[in-house]
Chains A and B, each alone.
Chain A
């Protein structure tokens, strides 16, 4: 059931970087491909009672118990229930010096692009709804804005969770 595609890729050169693009509540985000281990179809989660809503559950990824993380809780994006193309992006990140697997929820995974890191723009002061520290910058792709996330701050386990966002159920 976990028939996901493995994504292989290394940065093509120093200044250009392969990004995996995914969407969350209508916004497009990017994360460097070198952090991505695989993309999977949804896995039934096991909720951890009383856990931080940012990491509310765990999932079984090929025999490993991996935290399931909803980055919308940190980016202050409303959580909408969509019956779309939900995917789980499995990341391999060093956290506190320890290689750690993380499963991140994405509404959809769109594509892999190559982008010039030199051309990153800072996020605009106005209308920046997400906390700046989680964002490395904004890139333009096909006329759209792609928000490049900083995995080291975004997945910092010691980061306090923002006050609860009201869940919208439509």
Chain B
């Protein structure tokens, strides 16, 4: 058996186990027969293919859970919290048996035995005996039916590791059987490729089992030809059996076969993205040259290339896009485990799981989201008693939702807990020396303090949230993804934390602005609007100059001041209103040049301590333009609010 086939099995089993977790959680909420069947099928496939690929421990262990779910299928065991608990733990153990067969065998032998015993307790005596005999002993004997079965593996099945002999043996265990070999397709010896399968089998089986049980035997032979014809007068399918085309198998097939999709190493996608980045830059240069030359024939070709590159960019970006459901799925388990541990009833509601986001963003999102959910459950949601007194339902709700807004994906974690305590935050921030005692902060600014390093208002440390990595770790990750965090909280009503993340990391839409001779790029996602400086009314408020933008006052800074450059003498200047972390700031520039697609390149080690830049990009004319880091600019502006001249400070590493 080739290594490739084994690798493929491991990958598919991983997907199945991933799906299994979801199915089990689904099952608890809604134990419909289709869902029980789906779990049973997943277990059966893992057991069957596991044995085929030499994962004997995995296969034998899985067998016990398959048994349990067989009982559920037959209606002899009810789905309850205990069963789901056990199954989830079993699923975790199966995962470690799959990943590290040798290590897990010795290390977790005991855990396995405990789980098997617990399952046996749950399912009653006789479970560990052969499934067929126990079923016969317990179930009222059904009338035996004769089935005609024809089975022909797909030509490649043998290469992929199928063992038809084992399948026939398995089906033979269901009842008396006669088997006839079909050699009709075997080619002449000269044309015979011995690695391919040409054989077929006619079987005639008499069994008390239903047609589903027969089909289950062949469940992972999904490319094979299979016909099962029930005989006698009772040829009609059993009325209580699920429809043969119920969605569960289709879903299995989608997971394992991908419905025409292929697996690609993510490194290759990264390489492709790099090349595309270069192409976008060169294309911008070509565009500029063509405009200078002004040859209509050249222009036509350049326009065509432009169109193609844009299409290529969209396609490449879309190959890297994954539905955010991929991370959301994991949190159902987190919430279930946590609410058990903290003895709080918490329901997780997810919305917008189909929203797509770049793979590199998704990879980094999981940890901060887990942390935020833990925080919401541990600190946000009170126990049932307190909640009842506050007139809320005893069980809390954590709502995880995602939507796309322009070039950004908004992920919101909202709880209906007690909300942030502004006074407690202020007191802790003063205690930690984060703010002056007399500092005047808006509510939004106070809320942002929970992301300061070392900040925690929990009275005592718990095993859940108090492990030293606070919300500042979340903030660091989100900053690194060039995202922003917004907090909305109402005392007694709950807290909603929204992460605004760019859809893609490699290419952003930028606003080109000019200051003197230099061109800078402002990420379009943080731009709210642009106004003429002369037309905006200026106000003074607590020593600061503010711009009146319609109804609200917005603080503003001259980019020339921030950059320590001589004051501009341009007569008509403009203000770009940017937003980050819930705060707004006006940046005064000489001119706004337009928008472009920008490939972000990081600055070298020599410029890592220069604050205010997220990176640099190469413009169409070959010049380098710096990309402003709006969040840092705003933070610096807020810190320096009382000093007359605002300069970006060099940050210590």
Contact = CB atoms under 8 A, between A and B. Distances in A.
B606 A157 contact: yes
Interface stretch (A14-22, A27-35, A54-62): A54-62
Contacts of A52: 606, 610
A96 B606 CA distance: 11
A51 interface: yes
Interface string A52-79: 1011001110011111010000000000
Contacts of B624: 46, 58-60, 65
Interface stretch (B64-72, B444-452, B611-619): B611-619
Nearest to B277: A63
Interface in A75-120: 95-96, 98, 100, 102
B647 A50 contact: yes
Interface string A32-53: 0000000000001011111110
Contacts of A65: 601, 603-604, 616, 618, 624
Interface string B538-550: 0000000000000
Contacts of A54: 606
Interface string A136-169: 0000000000000000000001000000000000
B606 A55 contact: yes
A67 B604 contact: yes
B622 interface: yes
B626 to A, nearest CB: 7
Interface in B394-439: none
B607 interface: yes
Contacts of A44: 623
A51 B624 CA distance: 15
Contacts of B282: 63
Contact of B565 (A49, A55, A67): A49
Given A63-B278, A63-B281, A65-B616, A48 B610 contact: yes
B604 A63 contact: no
B607 A67 contact: yes
Which of A49, A54, A157 is the most central at the interface, judged by chain B CB atoms within 10 Å of its CB?
A: A49
Contacts of A102: 606
Interface in B620-645: 622-626
Interface in B570-613: 601, 603-608, 610-613
A157 B624 CA distance: 21
B268 interface: no
B181 interface: no
Contacts of B613: 48
A96 B604 CA distance: 12
A47 B563 CA distance: 10
A62 B650 CA distance: 30
Interface of A: 44, 46-52, 54-55, 58-60, 63-67, 69, 95-96, 98, 100, 102, 157
Q: Which 6 pairs across A and B sit closest by C-beta, in order of nearness?
A: A49-B563, A55-B606, A46-B624, A67-B606, A157-B605, A67-B604
Interface of B: 278, 281-282, 518, 562-565, 601, 603-608, 610-613, 616, 618, 622-626, 647-648, 650
29 contacts: A44-B623, A46-B616, A46-B625, A46-B626, A48-B607, A48-B626, A49-B562, A49-B565, A49-B610, A50-B564, A50-B612, A50-B647, A50-B650, A55-B606, A55-B607, A58-B603, A58-B604, A58-B616, A63-B278, A63-B282, A63-B618, A64-B601, A65-B601, A65-B618, A66-B604, A67-B606, A67-B607, A100-B604, A157-B608
Given A46-B625, A66-B604, 15 more contacts: A48-B607, A48-B626, A49-B610, A50-B610, A50-B612, A50-B647, A51-B607, A58-B616, A60-B618, A64-B601, A65-B601, A65-B604, A67-B603, A67-B607, A95-B605
